[in-house]
Structures are given as C-alpha cells and as structure tokens.
Amino acid sequence: MHTDEAVNASILGEMLEGRPYRYDPVDRHGPSLYYATYPVVRAFGAHSLGDLEAWELRLVPAVLGAGLLGALLLFLPAFPPPTLLASALWLGVGAPFVYYGRYWIHETLLVLLTFLLLGFSWRFSRTTRTGWAIAAGLAAGALLATKETSVLTLSCALGALVLTRLLCRRDARPPGTSIVPGVALGIAAAVLASALLFSSFGQNPGGIGDALAALAYATERAGGQGHEKPPLTYLGWLLAPNLRSRPFCGWTLAAFGLVGAWCAWQRRRDEPLPMFMALFAFITLAAYSAIPYKTPWLLLNALAPWALIAGTGLNRVGAVFAGRSRVVLTLALAAGVAGLLASETWRLCLVFPADPGNPLAYSPTSPDIRRLEARAESLVSERGALAPIVAVVGADIWPLPWYLRHCPNVGYWPELPRSPEATVVISDASQSERVSRALGPGWTSEIFGLRPEVLAVLFHRTAADHGAGKRGP
Amino acid sequence: MTKALLRATFLATACVSLGMLPAARADDLVPLKLDLPRPMFVGTPVPVKLPNLEAPRAGRRPDFMVPKGVVNLALNKKVTSSDMEPVLGDLTLITDGEKAGDEGNYVELGKGKQWVQIDLTKAYKLYAIVVWHFHSQARAYKSVAVQVSNDPDFATGVQTLFNSDDQNVLGFGAGQDPTYIETYEGRIIDAKGDSARYVRLYSAGNTTSEMNHYIEVEVYGLP
C-alpha cells in the first residue's frame, strides 16, 4: 500500500469507527473517494481500519477504471465504435491506467468523473435536454468534491471549449432551442452535489467554506512542496526508456495520437468533439507541465482524453489499407499495439511494481515492509503480554499505520515517550540513535525499509532481557 | 487472647481470599484498553534523494590492519552466481575494479536469496573481503553472508566470515553480525587469514526492493 493509500485508509477507518467525516482543506483531498468506498467495505463487514483489506479498497478504483471504458459510450457517435474499441486498448491495458487503476487514490475517480462530465455535457449540447444537463452538473459537483485539481480540469475544459468554438464555428444545437435553462440547472446540480459532499451530507456545514479555503492552499501547493520538477518531466516519464521497460504506452499514444489529432483537425467542421478532446488533452498536459508540482498519476488527466485521439489515429492508419484486408490488417495492428502495451504493463505493474527504476512507482512502499509487519506481529504475540504495546516514534513513519493495523495497541509519538512500557519500538531512521540511547542496553535492533531511502529501525528486547523489568519508552 | 484473635482473623481472611482468587481471575480480568496517540496524516511523500549516506559513525572509518603486500586477488577473476542471467548488468561488473554507484556499474540479481561466487584460481591466504552492494541510495541488504572454501560447491570446508541473517533465511544458522546501511565505503569483512580459493557472498533482497545488487567485491590476500 502506497503512503497515500495508507493515509486514505486511516481516514476511512475513522469513518468506519463512527467518527463523522470532516473535510480537511490542508493537504487532504475531497470526500468523494471515501463515500464511494464506504458502502463497499461495509458490505464486506468492515467496522474499523483493522478490518480493512487492501483488495477491498482497491476494488473501487478497479471498478471505476472499468467504468471509464463504459463512459466511452457517451461519446458515440462522434467517436465511432471502432475508435472507442481502439481507445479502450490504452485505457484498459496501458501501464499508467492499470498501475494507478489499482491504487486506492483519487485519480481514477477524478478521470472517470471528467469523462462523465464531458460526455453528459456533449450530449446536452446536442439535444439541450435538461436530464443531460443535470447529470453533467452532478458529475461536476462530484468532480469538485474529489480533488482540488478538478478546478484545473474544469479550466482546461473551458479553454478547450473556447478554442474549439473558434476553430470549428459550428453549433450542434437543434434550431430554436436555448441552453440557458439547462446550464442553470446543471450549475445548480453541481453546487448542490459538491455542497452535500463537502458538508458530509449536512453534518459538517463548515466543510463548504473549507472547500473554498482549500483552493488557496492548493494554489500554494502547486508550487511544489518538495515535488517540484522541470516542465518536461511528464514527457520524460511518458516517452523515455527506463530501467524496467520500453515505454510502449507513451510511444504508441504519441504516434497514433498525432495521426488522430490531424484527423480531428480535418473533420473539425463536421464533428467538433474530437477536436475538443485533442485540445483538452493538450491543454491539460501543458497546464500540468507548467505547474512545478508533479506526480506521475496526474498524467492520467491528459492521457485519458488523448487515448480517444490515439484510437482515432489507429483506425485512420488501418484505413490506409484497401478492400477486405482493411479489417484484418486493422485488427492485426490493434493486436500488435495491445501486445506491446501488455508487455510494458506486465513488467511495470506485476514484475517491478515498487522498483525505483519504474517511472510509475513514485515513492513506493518497499516490499521489505511486509517483513517488518510480520516481525512486529510475531514479537508481539511471542512476548505474550496482556496488552503488548508497539510504540512508533518519528514523523516519517507512513505507511506503517496500515501495516500495523492488526496490532491492538499501537501508538504514534513524534518523540520517544517516557511511558507507557512498550514491547516493540519502531523508530524512523533519523531518530534511531536517540531512541537506542534512551532505551539503553538489552534491546536488539533490526533495519527495515519503508520507502526508497526511508528506513525504520525496529527495537525489541533481547530474549534474555525480556521480563527483566527494564525501563521502556 | 489477642494473638489468638489476630491469628483467627488472618486465617479467615486468607481462606476467603484464596476462595475468591479463581473467580477474580476468570471474571475480573479484561484486556487493558489503552488510548494511544494516532498517527498524524501526511501528504504524498517526497521521493528522498540523498547524495550518499555517510555511515552512522563519527569521524573516519578506523583503519583495518592487513599484512604488508596484500593485493586485490579478485580483480577480473571469474564470477558465477545462483542467477546466471542477471536482470541488469553482467557478473563481470563485480570484479572489474569500478566502484562508482551510478547506473551501468552494478549487476542486479533476481528476487529473494541469491549468491555470487568468485574463483581466485588457487587458494590464497585471505585477510579482507570488501563488498559494495549498492550505494547511490540509503538501503540495507538482508541476510548478508560471506563464506570462503576450497570446494567450488561449498559443500565441505566452508568458513563463514560474516552472517547478518538473524532470521536464518539462508539456513546457516541465525547470524550475529549487524545489518548495515550501504555506503560508498563498502563493507570490510575480516577474512582472518583463512586460506581459500572460492569466495561466496549471499543476500536476500534489501530494504528497498526484493532484488540483489553488487557493484564490486574485492578480496585482499597475499599473492
């Protein structure tokens, strides 16, 4: 479990234990993911953090990722079925989508809600039916309540819409209809949905104000906060070969996407949606590249709409062939792309998921943490005290709270406490020397990895000293 | 009279207490519930990139004393391994004399327990073995063991010089040597003047990944 997943799980654990959710504008994301997951884990019988299993949590982004493929249908007929099928190759098999499609973080939900918002809005623009407008509004409200970057998503979409209108000069509305009532209803639905979510369904009205305050904090955060990277970082992650694989997803998206963008330009007066999607993807990538704060999962926001353009490009390349062989050769081309994508996905998602050489693994949790988990649990059980205590000391200890969730008495202290007596002490490496001195003789230490470069030291009493009544933390 | 009364009272109290004791054990004990501090939430962790972690030791490494005239006997010698098809690099990197920690200078062996073996071509008196697993990142390797022998199969005449395998993953018995954080200085292992032709080094993953790495191994002895 990545640190972000572990933090999310702790928040959900508090909800399961009966503490009402309260939106925290400082360094936390919105409530949508927790509310989407809560009924799922309750259905599996979870009542606390200790009851949760990783696969139950990760089922949610996996289903949402599959939902992304279903959401493609909203773009029919502007993107015909062969194009949608080709796009589904990248969305369903591409390494970034598979990798983060199993991370229980907010990004997959954010991308799905973006697709729903765009799909419903496009359908509303063609029909002016208020049902589509309300659906789009609800998607926008949920989007806003998912993550602060949704504001950037909406801004990029607006920019792409203005540019599309300028470039295409085409209005798909039925003659004599107005979009004003629908837009008003959509905005009302968006405000209502986001207010309900941020206020914890009325339990925390202050959450609405906090959501507005979060924008200022998110703007400050965009400056980097340790995640600052140069503008071309995303292109590097996407296109540069890495230690573990050739970046087939990035290469094929770039190659077929360029063909698709050219097709979208050519067809812009007949059907503006592909042009909008290409512009939206490009503006999103440019905006995220311009912001110093960069993490690889943010790429999904640009790659998902670009996958539709790449799907267009793949079918256009297939159309070069004439006659009956066209279908066969297009299918062969798609199969070839799928094979390349699958080989990269296999290596990055299954063989080297937490390897420092994997560009998708951003501050991944080290597999060594499972050894720490097993060691702590075995020490606690073999010492046989009535209420053995595990004392975790230090600031950089995540995602330990997830891995120690089954230990009944775990406490987290920024500094080594004088009491209570602990059976096991786990310290972040920066404090280990001080902890070792404070514990005194009779304690054995073992080193474990939490994340690349982040080590933890586990202290336990040597067998001979166990029960000797020595002072603990 | 008073003494008799006190004795009777004491006996009566003791009997009542003893009679109640089993009931107290069964019914009155409950698990101790503790209100321990909860972890503070944090944001996405920033990938840490330390230039090169110094050993947690004040000052320079103490000198390791060896007889005059010792040389690195392992330089360019043949290396074999439990993983003859490394994931990255090749086995010749282990004895090529290059100890830089950057990409292209290390060999990566597969997951879990793995070993590399250096054939010194004949038996020498050995005084020190120095190993660099990987030092461009702060990490510690698990279950590190170093053995020497004149038997290429390490079935007989095996001397264990270092063993940090406290969980006995390797099956040589629980090691007593400490796990250590890798640094650019490498780890000096005392070879104690044992005479041997083959040197074998074990590990079982590290604190960052399950893979095993070697940048260089030097074996110092009298030619």
Which percentage of chain B shows pLDDT scores above 70?
73
How close, in Å, is residue A130 to chain B by CA atoms?
40
Chain B residues in contact with A11 (beta carbon < 8 A): 41
B102 assigned to some structural domain: yes
Secondary structure class of A315 (helix, strand, coil):
helix
Question: Which residues sit opposite B200 in a β-bridge?
Answer: B117, B147
Measured CA to CA, the distance from residue A59 to residue A37 in angstroms comes to: 9
CB A364 within 8 A of CB A399: no
CA-nearest of B221, B219, B222 to B74 is B219
**Helix segments in A169-271, DSSP class H:** 180-198, 206-221, 233-239, 248-266
CA distances from A170 to A161, A278, A282, B45, B210 (A): 12, 17, 21, 46, 57
Structure tokens that stand for A48 in this block: 């606390």
CB B181 within 8 A of CB A455: yes
Helix H or strand E encompassing A304 = helix A300-318
B26 assigned to some structural domain: no
Q: Which residue has the higher pLDDT, B135 or A426?
A: A426
Number of other residues whose CB lies within 10 A of the CB of residue B43:
17
B56 assigned to some structural domain: no
Chain B residues in contact with A356 (beta carbon < 8 A): 137, 208-209
B108 assigned to some structural domain: yes
Residue A433 contacts B, CB cutoff 8 Å:
yes
Residue A411 contacts B, CB cutoff 8 Å:
yes
Find, in chain A, the residue whose alpha carbon is nearest to that of B51: A453
Is B208–A452 a contact, with Cβ atoms under 8 angstroms apart? yes
pLDDT at residue B101 in the model: 76
CA distances from A410 to A38, A315, A379, A388, A422 (A): 24, 56, 13, 9, 9
Beta strands in B60-208 (DSSP E): 71-72, 78-81, 107-109, 113-132, 145-149, 159-163, 187-190, 195-204
For residue A387, give the nearest of B31, B45, B50 by CB distance. B31
Average pLDDT per 10 consecutive residues for chain A, totaling 473 residues: 95 93 86 97 96 96 96 96 97 97 96 98 93 98 95 97 89 76 96 96 93 84 82 95 91 97 94 96 97 95 98 93 84 96 96 90 93 90 70 89 90 78 86 84 87 89 54 39
Measured CA to CA, the distance from residue B179 to residue B138 in angstroms comes to: 13
Is B45–A449 a contact, with Cβ atoms under 8 angstroms apart? no
Question: Which residues sit opposite B187 in a β-bridge?
Answer: B131
B165 assigned to some structural domain: yes
Is B138–A453 a contact, with Cβ atoms under 8 angstroms apart? yes
How close, in Å, is residue A32 to chain B by CA atoms?
18
For residue A447, give the nearest of B137, B179, B205 by CB distance. B179
Residue B140 contacts A, CB cutoff 8 Å:
yes
Helix H or strand E encompassing B20 = helix B2-27
Is B166–A446 a contact, with Cβ atoms under 8 angstroms apart? yes
Chain B residues in contact with A295 (beta carbon < 8 A): 44
Is B208–A356 a contact, with Cβ atoms under 8 angstroms apart? yes
Measured CA to CA, the distance from residue A80 to residue A85 in angstroms comes to: 9
B142 assigned to some structural domain: yes
pLDDT at residue A322 in the model: 75
Residue B30 contacts A, CB cutoff 8 Å:
no
CB A288 within 8 A of CB A304: no
CB A15 within 8 A of CB A463: no
Residue A449 contacts B, CB cutoff 8 Å:
yes
pLDDT at residue A169 in the model: 76
pLDDT at residue A438 in the model: 86
Q: What is the ipTM of this complex?
A: 0.72
Residue A188 contacts B, CB cutoff 8 Å:
no
Burial status of residue A416 (CB atoms within 10 A of its CB: 0-12, 13-18, 19 or more): buried
Helix H or strand E encompassing B221 = strand B216-222
Find, in chain B, the residue whose alpha carbon is nearest to that of A448: B207
Measured CA to CA, the distance from residue B109 to residue B214 in angstroms comes to: 8
CA-nearest of A297, A292, A136, A316 to A229 is A292
CB A5 within 8 A of CB A55: no
pLDDT of B14 over the 50 cut:
no
B140-175 confidence digits (pLDDT tens): 899 999 999 999 999 999 999 999 998 899 999 988
pLDDT at residue B115 in the model: 97
pLDDT at residue A345 in the model: 97
pLDDT at residue A252 in the model: 98
Phi, psi of A298 (to 5 degrees): -65, -25
Domain span holding position B99? 71-222
Query: How many structural domains does chain B have?
Result: 1
B44 assigned to some structural domain: no
Question: Which residues sit opposite B40 in a β-bridge?
Answer: none
Q: Which of B25, B36, B111, B133 would you mutate first to test chain A, the one with the most A CBs within 10 A? A: B36
Here the CATH number for the domain that contains residue B130 is 2.60.120.260
CB A61 within 8 A of CB A274: no
How close, in Å, is residue B154 to chain A by CA atoms?
28
pLDDT at residue B53 in the model: 43
pLDDT of B85 over the 50 cut:
yes
Q: How far is CA B90 from the centre of its chain?
A: 24
pLDDT at residue A64 in the model: 96
Find, in chain B, the residue whose alpha carbon is nearest to that of A372: B207
pLDDT at residue B24 in the model: 42
pLDDT at residue B62 in the model: 77
Q: Which DSSP state fits A364?
A: P
Residue B46 contacts A, CB cutoff 8 Å:
yes
Chain A stretch 102-161, residues whose beta carbon is closer than 8 A to a beta carbon of chain B: none
Is A355–B211 a contact, with Cβ atoms under 8 angstroms apart? yes
B25-70 confidence digits (pLDDT tens): 445 555 555 555 666 666 666 665 444 444 455 566 778 888 888 8
Is A10–B43 a contact, with Cβ atoms under 8 angstroms apart? no
Find the range with the poorest average confidence among A132-146, B128-142, B188-202.
Answer: B128-142
CA-nearest of A413, A167, A127 to B39 is A413
Chain B residues in contact with A366 (beta carbon < 8 A): 207-209
Residue type, A276: F
CA-nearest of A406, A405, A397, A385 to A448 is A397
Is B48–A446 a contact, with Cβ atoms under 8 angstroms apart? no
Peptide bond into A420 cis (omega under 30): yes
Peptide bond into A408 cis (omega under 30): no
Measured CA to CA, the distance from residue A276 to residue B143 in angstroms comes to: 56
pLDDT at residue B68 in the model: 86
B31 assigned to some structural domain: no
Measured CA to CA, the distance from residue B141 to residue B174 in angstroms comes to: 16
Residue type, A220: E
Phi, psi of B164 (to 5 degrees): -105, 15
